[in-house]
Structure 1
């Protein structure tokens, strides 16, 4: 019997530079993705009654926009068009979500959920699609979904979909979570967002101090995030925004070092400790490499 519990790991952006903008509005990026040993848990039970439903969706987003539901339907429709037989119309699944990745935090929760659904249902429905096909399907849901499907830390360019596997040092992190959800679209649509960082080689980027081009705009627009970052910088100079949301990463060489700083957090701050990993916890658990 197939395991029905699947992890959807969080990611961090060790750096994020915006090098331009395409005519269709998509931004051109250079970023370094790494996974965290921390994530949502999806319980997925496939069925053959044709229905796909999400149970306990916390009412944070409608089914029409929910990436979990959209991913399942996209995969089913792909198979139906490919096979053109009536049996594939009977593919279904009941999915429930235990949500721990902060919404709007920049940790990739929605994209990771979508990727995990594609991988899990590919297994449970016995479709035998390879990662390249799943990544192409996932790209229709979001530019960073292919990263979660491929399961390796990566340097990303383009809109975030051109991936080069790379294995930076695995470290311990405090992920600080300000009490605010930030929309990626709001940040990318801000007229004052920096969009002209020079496109540099990976070798140059790796020896430069890591930064996030979205941080200045987020700090200006959201006082609570600025307050959190200001406190963190006094204690951990490496602290910086991760992704395009509200969460802040602070890196440490050991778990003990991270715990010492976390114990100093004032009562208006919340954070959690996680270790980064260059192989997705989902891929590690299910030995996904196909």
Structure 2
């Protein structure tokens, strides 16, 4: 049994407070996009996690899919499986690929073994694996706050537009991005801002990570500028980077950006 685990982007990202625990409170909008990993489980004698496609460093046991499997197996004692993961969502790009893989694995396990988990129960399992992981259970646009682990449903449909995502050959670690961050409460109401005409977003919706990341990696800033020159109504870095997306009201081709970056169209 398999699932196609999609990525997400952040529309706006305000880092509002650093907590005594070292974590940060944020405000953002999560929006699902059509770049997919493939997650599959098959009967096996022993639990294993095999990864193809984009290479992932580290031990298979550290993969969020493996952790998700163990988390549910502890409570439901279903038999061993081989987890096969075809990675196509860029890593270190602010797209939530690992979280999506784990969330979709939870849904696949629920289906295969008829666990009868409710949406809320699946979200509770997913939340133990990462702040944004539970988002991918329902996989609908939300306003995310707290540590990015609390969600408010949001009516937002960008299907009439043409979204393009550009992934430079740069990896930005989340810890590195937060290290240079100075939290500041935002006066803007992001929920209201995303309901405004998309043409207004450019001057009002921001990603707090861009200042520091652009200073350290000017090539990422150059991608955003190139998207605006190509006619994007709105362009921004997703999460803490390094991917940058542009939203257009027309079909677009970006051969100049394809020379040094991976470009994904029609998202």
User: Which TM class, normalised by the smaller chain length?
Assistant: 0.7 to 0.9
The offset of 1:52, in angstroms, is: 1.9
Corresponding position of 1:238: 234
Corresponding position of 1:273: 265
Corresponding position of 1:45: 42
Question: 2:38, 2:87 within 8 Å by CA — same for their partners in 1?
Answer: yes
1:15 to 12, 17, 21: 12
Distance (Å, rounded) in 2 between the aligned partners of 1:162 and 1:126: 28
Distance (Å, rounded) in 1 between the aligned partners of 2:83 and 2:242: 27
Corresponding position of 2:96: 108
How is 1:186-265 mapped onto 2 (pairs within 5 angstroms)? 186-190=176-180, 193-198=181-186, 200-206=188-194, 207=196, 209-235=204-230, 236=232, 238-254=234-250, 256=251, 258-259=252-253, 262-265=254-257
The offset of 1:78, in angstroms, is: 3.0
The offset of 1:203, in angstroms, is: 4.5
Report the secondary structure of 1:265's partner residue.
Answer: helix
Give the unaligned 5+ runs of structure 1.
80-87, 276-290
The offset of 1:163, in angstroms, is: 0.8
The offset of 1:56, in angstroms, is: 3.0
Distance (Å, rounded) in 1 between the aligned partners of 2:90 and 2:7: 9
Corresponding position of 1:181: 171
Instruction: Output the TM-score relative to the length of structure 2.
Output: 0.88
Matched, 1:122 2:84: no
Distance 1:42 1:242, change over 3 A: same
Matched, 1:56 2:51: yes
Corresponding position of 2:82: 94
Distance 1:185 1:6, change over 3 A: same
The offset of 1:30, in angstroms, is: 0.8
CA RMSD in angstroms, aligned pairs only: 2.0
Distance (Å, rounded) in 2 between the aligned partners of 1:32 and 1:59: 27
Give CA-to-partner distance per residue, 1:9-58, whole Å, 9 cap, x none.
010111111111211111111111111122111122245x4x32112353
Provide runs of 4+ in structure 1 moved above 6 Å.
Answer: none
Give the unaligned 5+ runs of structure 2.
none
Question: 1:6, 1:44 within 8 Å by CA — same for their partners in 2?
Answer: no
Corresponding position of 2:135: 147
Give CA-to-partner distance per residue, 1:47-80, whole Å, 9 cap, x none.
5x4x32112353423223211111111111133x
Report the secondary structure of 1:225's partner residue.
Answer: helix
Instruction: Output the TM-score relative to the length of structure 1.
Output: 0.81
Matched, 1:165 2:153: yes
Distance (Å, rounded) in 1 between the aligned partners of 2:130 and 2:117: 19
